[in-house]
Structure 1
């Protein structure tokens, strides 16, 4: 039974009004054999069902479909102490070098912010692991550099200056599947917990709405005259962070790193009013672009969006004005790509500026992702959508089924 919700200011929202009972057996622990065989719930005032393989015919022709082309890294590395105790190091984001591309290209040394599992068993000193790479054995060592409130800073060192850190992770890392799957990652996850259009390494969680797409579907989109484009937002572990505070105003939103090129900015202007977002990470990126443009229009050159900016900045600027200002910023600075960070929190009360339709999976109770869906569909619609999915055998969470949601009026 879904709980009732009251209309209120965004920061006063109680998370208990945005939850539902998710039975364990409704969580998809593994993907379907074929990516596009998932069920598709369509919400456009009413609710109906279809198959994801039909998505090209369900989207308006001459519209724009945007993807997040980030690539999941093999972020989990296991070490064993001489005592037999197993230590798991989960790489979250680079510290030195801080640039994600440079971090993967680093030779002999790279420093990362990490979550360390079974940390109490690692008292001090270095931990070692041998890596087989290109017929050679590489010695990898890790050491603690700093303890943070929610993580640790770990230095990785290896004894071959021809091997990059990206290659080290590819050789020994494991796919960081979501904790709610309650199983170890397997070989199939290396392929299936990755979109077919993934391109830029940097995420520790997949933009899972895109896991249903196949090359055949992409070809059909082209044949239908549906334009596609990309943004890049590197998904952090914070995407799984539940809202533990009673009110949304007390929740600290995670921050994520994103990139958008000039071509995509032009597409947004060309197709404004007819844009479909693949996944909540793409939504976060697209909506953040508008507010970055507003900041520049207001004379604020701090190109970062915090969780409350969208509720506090002026709202009278058009999308054309905001994106136009971002384009001018890139041209003036001779940049081809906008790089920024966003901690935007999209919850009921938010007015969408860029996205008109949303393709997304079914999200956890008490999550910011569910709040985003509630904001997008407006009012009580999210409850009807989730009740329908629960009552009609839809599979939930990362490896689950999909939905095509139209923006509520």
Structure 2
């Protein structure tokens, strides 16, 4: 399968640069994943599409202020680090360095008033660095003070309110990028969904920047998917299983929730509490067992996220829906509009 089959033309003006003042104010394109029938709605119309007994599954990972500006101890040169993910070793992180050529094994960097420092342990094959941090107090508190929020490369404008790149239910810090389908929700709207008989489930998948990296191979099957840490507790697993047992639908909010559920679900669609690393790569031909519906934003051409969405419906249905979204001037990517994929009322 060719990566080029997942390409489409997107005018640059449709890439949303700022979030809407009202998180729930976006548009919602609903797509029947079996027939391809579309409807143009508003996001709050999600209430019309869910049923009592359904369960929305959210990724509660919180975006780290993962961009650090520091100096090289030896020369005083300015170095920028972007934290990607923590390794299994204490205080060791995989990072991107800029300029990378100045950060070699043994290089020591300092940040702030020497409140934080790190030593480069290793240069990986893909140019990333492994560094080990030293600090006083709690690492996340130091990072909150010295770091800044990373934004995707396609967002060129400054974000005046960094919390707008954070979901209202974010809880567990660890992501380098936001699970953006969740940015549409407000606490009052979540309450409305619960009042309508919809359950809310929360899992964790720490989103890596591999989410935004272009697929560099020609064949889809040759792509090497990045790994991300996930966690699902016993209480949530029970809620998911009980929802299915009672005939309710599991609707993943975002591709990160979908990937986590598909990682954990067994062949019968049953869930157990679990944690670990997933590098699951979902593209057309994949048989879903963990989700019944998907709420997601509009994704980059030729991206693994577009491939996942195409697997849930079909490539033809999704590319047609995307063409319709472009023609109707929907807003794309992280701060853009949303798409809901379900099958008719009998799903």
Do the aligned partners of 1:71 and 1:200 also contact (CA within 8 Å) in 2?
Answer: yes
* Correspondence for 1:42: 30
* Correspondence for 2:301: 365
* Correspondence for 2:64: 73
Cα deviations across residues 102-157 of structure 1 (Å, max 9, x unaligned)?
xxxxxxxx3211110112345774232334xxxxxx53222212111121111222
Cα deviations across residues 378-405 of structure 1 (Å, max 9, x unaligned)?
2510011101100001000011111111
**Is 254-263 or 207-216 further displaced after alignment?**
254-263
1:141 equivalenced with 2:117 (yes/no): yes
- How many residue pairs get aligned? The number is 336
* Correspondence for 1:114: 95
C-alpha distance in 1 between matches for 2:175 and 2:242: 29
* Correspondence for 1:173: 147
Do the aligned partners of 1:73 and 1:204 also contact (CA within 8 Å) in 2?
Answer: yes
C-alpha distance in 2 between matches for 1:139 and 1:62: 50
* Correspondence for 2:83: 91
C-alpha distance in 2 between matches for 1:36 and 1:85: 44
* Correspondence for 2:112: 130
Which of 339, 342, 345 matches 1:406?
342
* Correspondence for 2:131: 154
* Correspondence for 1:214: 186
Shift of 1:81: 5.3
Aligned residue for 2:58, secondary structure, equals strand
C-alpha distance in 2 between matches for 1:402 and 1:222: 20
TM-score relative to the length of structure 1: 0.78
Q: How does 1:270-289 map to 2 (within 5 A)?
A: 270-272=242-244, 274-289=249-264
Which of 15, 28, 46 matches 2:16?
28
Unaligned runs of 5+ in 1: 1-12, 99-109, 132-137, 294-316, 327-336
Do the aligned partners of 2:103 and 2:120 also contact (CA within 8 Å) in 1?
Answer: no
Do the aligned partners of 1:56 and 1:217 also contact (CA within 8 Å) in 2?
Answer: no
Name which structure has the greater RCO, CA cutoff 8 Å, separation 6+.
2
* Correspondence for 2:276: 340
Bigger fraction of residues in helix? 1
* Correspondence for 2:317: 381
C-alpha distance in 1 between matches for 2:209 and 2:329: 28
Shift of 1:50: 1.1
Do the aligned partners of 1:73 and 1:203 also contact (CA within 8 Å) in 2?
Answer: yes
Cα deviations across residues 230-279 of structure 1 (Å, max 9, x unaligned)?
11111111111221111112110111111111122222222226111100
C-alpha distance in 2 between matches for 1:258 and 1:392: 36
C-alpha distance in 2 between matches for 1:350 and 1:69: 26
Shift of 1:84: 7.3
Unaligned runs of 5+ in 2: none
Aligned residue for 2:326, secondary structure, equals helix
* Correspondence for 1:394: 330
* Correspondence for 1:319: 269
Residue 122 and residue 269 in structure 1: after superposition, are their counterparts in 2 closer, same or farther (change >3 A)? closer
Shift of 1:344: 0.9
* Correspondence for 1:9: none
Aligned residue for 2:283, secondary structure, equals coil
Cα deviations across residues 187-243 of structure 1 (Å, max 9, x unaligned)?
41x201110011111111110000000011111001101111111111111111221
